[in-house]
């Protein structure tokens, strides 16, 4: 098996797949033979990115901070390819804009709703789909090196939550043949940090 067919017959759903780390993962997955569904909030951006990825890519407009949108759109994503989704990459995330003293409730909630609540409910729905369809799949969460440091921002706190949830979900899903991992990149030049 070569690197170009490592993920043949696999389908990946990648939240936050139209920019930064999520798009880079989508590119590598397609290069390795995977079909990908990229999800995000900006349809124009998703369309451009999907075209760049080629025929093995589709997209779905999804706001992971909105529970009702998750509940409505994940079943649509699950039917986009004839093969079943067997990889989930939770990459959607937003960062903090203000200093500790200036973070308001709106900013706090937006970060937590995207980075924690969205990740939780997308994982819940996709893992249930995998279990119900007897899929031995993989779930990858994009954490951050910020989740390894003392937390004083909602972003850092959210990544602590990602790390704890990853361990708990791994323990919950391994009896079903679903492997859950996280990676914790350090500073990366992406739109999240304005680069």
Catalytically active residues are 155
Q: Which residues pair with 14 in a beta bridge?
A: 38, 89
For residue 145, which of 161, 131, 156 has the smallest C-alpha distance? 156
Q: 3-class SS at 184?
A: coil
- d(CA 9, CA 75) in angstroms, rounded, equals 20
Helical segments of the chain, H only: 20-31, 43-53, 67-78, 105-112, 119-132, 154-173
């Amino acid at each position: 098996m070569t690197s170009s067919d490592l993920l043949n017959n696999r389908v990946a759903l990648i939240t936050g797949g139209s920019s930064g780390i999520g798009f880079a993962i989508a590119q590598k997955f397609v290069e390795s033979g995977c079909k990908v569904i990229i999800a995000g909030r900006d349809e124009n951006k998703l369309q451009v990115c999907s075209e760049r990825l080629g025929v093995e890519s589709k997209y779905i407009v999804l706001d992971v901070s909105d529970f009702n949108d998750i509940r409505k759109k994940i079943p649509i994503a699950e039917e986009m390819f004839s093969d079943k989704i067997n990889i989930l990459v939770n990459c959607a995330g937003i960062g903090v804009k203000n200093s500790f003293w200036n973070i308001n409730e709106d900013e706090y909630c937006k970060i937590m709703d995207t980075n924690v609540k969205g990740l939780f409910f997308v994982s819940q729905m996709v893992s249930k789909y995998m279990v119900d369809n007897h899929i031995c799949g993989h779930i990858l969460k994009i954490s951050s090196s910020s989740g390894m440091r003392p937390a004083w921002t909602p972003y850092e706190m959210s990544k602590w939550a990602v790390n704890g949830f990853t361990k708990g979900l791994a323990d919950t899903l391994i009896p079903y043949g679903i492997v859950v991992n996280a990676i914790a990149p350090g500073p990366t030049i992406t739109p999240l940090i304005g680069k």
